[in-house]
Amino acid sequence: MLLPFNTSAFSNVLGASDRAAQRKAFVSPFDKFDGKPEDVHQHIAQFTQRCVETGVVEDFSFIICENPPPSDVDLTDPIEKAAWISDPRRFTTGNFLLNASKATIENIQAARDKLRSSLQKFSSPPDPIKMPLASRQLVSYQNRQWIYVLLMAMWTSTMKTIMLRYQDLHNNDGVVLWYCFLQYFAGTTIENLIQAYSQLS
């Protein structure tokens, strides 16, 4: 069963009084990881626990597929069509921090690119009350930067060298970088990955 999103003590809201404390708690480095396969399980478990404790789990969400509208939704009606566009049933989503079985580099990158595209039209931070969706998107963008900072702080120069081959794929986005990390180790440490994810239930 998936964990509910943001079970942490942090609000994870743009401009909240605890936002600076949330960042400090998240990016504080823990055990260094040098790329040894026998340490992958512990590294994944520590990273996942940090994400849960600081409320950034939802940032690993992605779209698996788009669903057709139910038969009672008339897309020729402008009002119903507009309602369907924002309907939560429109997409089937996943969260690869908790379950990577449906994740691909394409849908992980698509989530990143959609987020960046949505934020390009803003020249200043959106108001969390007047524009809740945009403010949540900005929070997610910031969180993705934090994830990148944390990984760079935890990884030794050896590990960073290994991950250099994925630079064009992640483009300094921490969520995509974490996916690349999982992909790199998935082939040789599948038992460690299965064990790590099974402990999240």
| Segment 76-126, tens digit of pLDDT | 888 888 888 888 889 999 999 988 889 999 999 999 999 999 899 888 888
Please give the pLDDT value at position 194. Answer: 56
Q: How many Å apart are CA 47 and CA 113, to the nearest integer?
A: 23
Phi-psi region of 80 (alpha: psi -120 to 50; beta: other; left: phi over 0): alpha
Q: Consecutive 10-residue runs of the chain (201 residues): their mean pLDDT?
A: 74 92 95 91 93 95 92 87 85 90 93 93 84 90 97 96 93 96 75 54 49
User: For 132, how many CA atoms within 13 A lie in the half-sphere containing its CB?
Assistant: 1
Question: Which residues have a Cβ under 8 Å from the Cβ of 30 and sit 6 or more positions away?
Answer: 46, 50, 154
Structural domain includes residue 6: no
- Residue keyed to tokens 């509208």: 69
Classify 109 as helix, strand or coil.
helix
Partners of 65 in beta bridges: 92
Structural domain includes residue 115: yes
Structural domain includes residue 17: no
Please give the pLDDT value at position 32. Answer: 95
Please give the pLDDT value at position 149. Answer: 97
Find the domain containing 164 and state its range: 30-198
- Report how far apart the first and last C-alpha atoms of the chain are (Å, whole number): 6
Radius of gyration of the chain (CA): 18
Please give the pLDDT value at position 198. Answer: 60
Structural domain includes residue 47: yes
> Which structure tokens are listed for 59?
């940032």
Structural domain includes residue 15: no
Residues 103-119: b if buried by 16+ CB within 10 A, e if exposed: beeebbbebbeebeeee
Structural domain includes residue 102: yes
Structural domain includes residue 55: yes
Partners of 91 in beta bridges: 66
Partners of 33 in beta bridges: 155
Structural domain includes residue 5: no
Give the chain's domain count. 1
Phi-psi region of 171 (alpha: psi -120 to 50; beta: other; left: phi over 0): left
